[in-house]
Amino acid sequence: MTVGFSYLLGQFISRRICRRLSHWAEKTQWRWDDVVVEALKRGVPYWSILIGCHISLSYWQLSPHWVETSTRAINVLTWASVTLVLAGLMGKLINFYGSQFQHAMPVTSLTQNLARMAVIIIGSLMILNDLGISIAPMLTALGVGGLAVALGLQDTLSNLFSGFYLTMSRQVNVGDYIKLEGGQEGYIHDIGWRSTQVRMLPNNMVIVPNNKLSQSIITNFYLPSRDLAFTLDVGVDYASDLDKVERVTVEVGREVMKKVTGAFSDFEPIVRFHTFADYSIQMTIVLRAKEFTDQFLIKHEFIKRLTERYRQEGIAIPFPTQTQLQKAVD
């Protein structure tokens, strides 16, 4: 009877009161209150049943031994449920607010799992203490068997500590665009306890063990900043007026920098002639994008607009040719 009433009371609190708290939390500017209310909504039904069981013990005619055993069981279940709720709450709070503390602890699945594990360990110690079990012998046994465990889990521990090192060193971060030593490149999707996931531009996922990644040569296109300069090579006819070519090319570059999405609008394009090639004078144009993938659209628009402008100005872009004399000699 008492347990049933407690269960119904818990359902009422979960569905009515917590729902009103959720509506109130949605109106606030904070995000933590939404997470706390959601955690309470999940935990209240279990806690209400445990409270009902605890109250019912006073009505049941049980021997002192069974009363003590039942009380300990209820306490263990209470600590376990509170621990699980707090572990989930901690993971979500880190996910929500981690962006505000990126300088201290970047948000990855590894850091979230470490936070959950810390809460679970503390909760487990509370349960052992409630059961009257001393943890000192357990710590001694762990110390003695630690070497054997470390040898048996050498690869796992290597990946774990490498992932922690990658996370804390800030040399690579979730969301960075990187190029691996093997040639694969893409965005870092997540750093886990065993491996790092890199999402390539075709939307494929490359899974790299953390210890391999920590030992590899990596190009991070987001460090020291996301914007980057890139180059295009163009050749013009030997009969071209190079001053005019430079002026026209810079004008097209300025137009692209100001109008194309992803271009660094304040950047002044650079043109440098550098090679007397077989059939053209080669030059390099330097442009700047806000991040790595923006350069593709900028190159696309620049080539289209430069080709059209060269056609209007009478500037020729030559293609490989061979004279009859060269063919005869060959």
Cβ neighbors of 213 (< 8 A, separation 6 or more) are 162, 166, 172, 180, 196
The pTM of this model reads: 0.63
Last residue of a domain, one of 224, 259, 282: 224
- pLDDT at position 247 is 96
**9 and 125 inside one domain:** yes
Q: Does 185 reside within a domain? A: yes
**104 and 89 inside one domain:** yes
Cβ neighbors of 145 (< 8 A, separation 6 or more) are none
**142 and 116 inside one domain:** no
- Give the pLDDT confidence of 67-101 residue by residue, as tens digits: 677 777 777 788 888 888 887 777 777 766 655 55
Residue 142: other Cβ atoms inside 10 A:
11
**211 and 246 inside one domain:** no
Distance of CA 215 to the CA centre of its chain: 20
**Domains in the chain, number:** 3
Low-confidence ranges of the chain (pLDDT < 70): 1-35, 37, 46, 50, 54-62, 65, 67, 95-107, 134-153, 321-330
- pLDDT at position 177 is 93
**68 and 119 inside one domain:** yes
Read out DSSP for 40-92?
HHHHHHHHHHHHHHHHHTTTS---HHHHHHHHHHHHHHHHHHHHHHHHHHHHH
Q: Which residues are bridge partners to 270 per DSSP?
A: 286
**122 and 6 inside one domain:** yes
Q: Does 319 reside within a domain? A: no
**61 and 153 inside one domain:** no
Residue 224, preceding bond cis, omega within 30 degrees? yes
- Give the pLDDT confidence of 217-245 residue by residue, as tens digits: 999 999 888 999 999 999 999 999 999 99
Q: Does 11 reside within a domain? A: yes
Of 301, 299, 281, give the one whose Cα is nearest residue 232.
299
- The crossing angle, in degrees rounded to 10, of helices 2-12 and 32-56 is 170
Reading the block at residue 155, the tokens are 């690869």
Q: How far is CA 173 from CA 1, 122, 130, 295, in A?
A: 55, 29, 41, 21
Q: Does 25 reside within a domain? A: yes
Helices (H), the chain: 2-12, 18-27, 32-56, 64-97, 109-130, 136-152, 154-169, 210-215, 242-259, 294-313, 324-329
**Residue 283 is part of which domain span?**
228-313
Q: Does 45 reside within a domain? A: yes
Q: Does 318 reside within a domain? A: no
For residue 181, the domain's CATH number is 2.30.30.60
C-alpha 60/C-alpha 52 separation (Å) is 12
For residue 297, the domain's CATH number is 3.30.70.100
**147 and 180 inside one domain:** yes
**50 and 165 inside one domain:** no
**14 and 67 inside one domain:** yes
- pLDDT at position 328 is 47
Last residue of a domain, one of 224, 258, 274: 224
- Beta strand 281-289 with 270-276 is antiparallel
**7 and 113 inside one domain:** yes
Q: Does 31 reside within a domain? A: yes
Last residue of a domain, one of 224, 246, 270: 224
- pLDDT at position 7 is 57
- pLDDT at position 146 is 57
Q: Does 138 reside within a domain? A: yes
**13 and 128 inside one domain:** yes
